[in-house]
């Protein structure tokens, strides 16, 4: 409960890795995977996903790889998590409505409040706060 997924962690590990390099140099999937002991294929998917979200950009071909494209300082954690994993919410009735209890639920409103607190907390931190 309340855990980050590996995909998010791998994304952050990769971003931090790239952040430590000069702006124009690229990092290949293999380089990152071996460096941090991450399964290659999964990391590949993860990086492709971040590229599609314009957080990083892909350079094809040999000597290719990825480099950071967005300003990490301007992406807050709530945004980032949503880009990588989809909608955030302590309960899924906040963005989807197939809960058997929804009609009788007596805690939906209070949990909404906690949810808002949590999201605000993530909004108050940028990706750069982690990768620096």
d(CA 64, CA 106): 54
Q: Work out whether 17 is an interface residue with DNA (CB under 7 A).
A: no
Q: Where are the beta strands (DSSP E) in the chain?
A: 56-59, 65-68
Q: Which is nearer to DNA, 41 or 129 (CB)?
A: 41
List the Cα angle 80/83/22 in 5-degree steps: 60
Indicate whether 105 belongs to the interface with ligand SF4 (CB under 6 A): yes
Which of 1, 23 has the CB closer to its own copies? Answer: 1
Q: Does 51 bind ligand SF4 (CB under 6 A)?
A: no
Rg (CA), the chain: 17
Q: Is 60 in the site for DNA (CB under 7 A)?
A: yes
**Is residue 79 near ligand SF4 by the rule CB under 6 A?**
no
- Burial of 32: CB neighbours in 10 Å, binned 0-12, 13-18, 19+: buried
Q: Which residues face 100 on adjacent strands?
A: none
Given a contact cutoff of 8 angstroms between Cβ atoms, the answer to whether 51 and 65 are in contact is no
Residues 83-102 that bind ligand SF4 (CB under 6 A): 91-93, 99, 101-102
Least separation in angstroms between residue 13's CB and its own copies is: 5
Would you tell me which residues interact with DNA (CB under 7 A)?
1, 5-7, 28-30, 39, 41-42, 44-45, 47-48, 51-52, 58-66, 100
């Amino acid at each position: 409960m309340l855990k980050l997924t590996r995909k998010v962690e791998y994304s952050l590990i990769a971003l931090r890795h790239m952040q430590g390099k000069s702006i124009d140099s690229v990092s290949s999937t293999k380089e990152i995977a071996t460096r941090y002991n991450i399964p290659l294929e999964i990391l590949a998917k993860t990086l492709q996903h971040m590229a599609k979200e314009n957080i990083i950009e892909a350079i094809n071909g040999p000597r290719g790889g990825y480099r950071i494209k967005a300003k990490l300082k301007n992406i807050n954690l709530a945004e980032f998590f949503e880009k990588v994993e989809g909608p955030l919410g302590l309960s899924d009735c906040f963005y989807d409505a197939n809960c058997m209890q929804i009609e009788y639920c007596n805690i939906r409103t209070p949990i909404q409040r906690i949810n808002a607190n949590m999201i605000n907390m993530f909004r108050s931190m940028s990706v750069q706060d982690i990768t620096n």
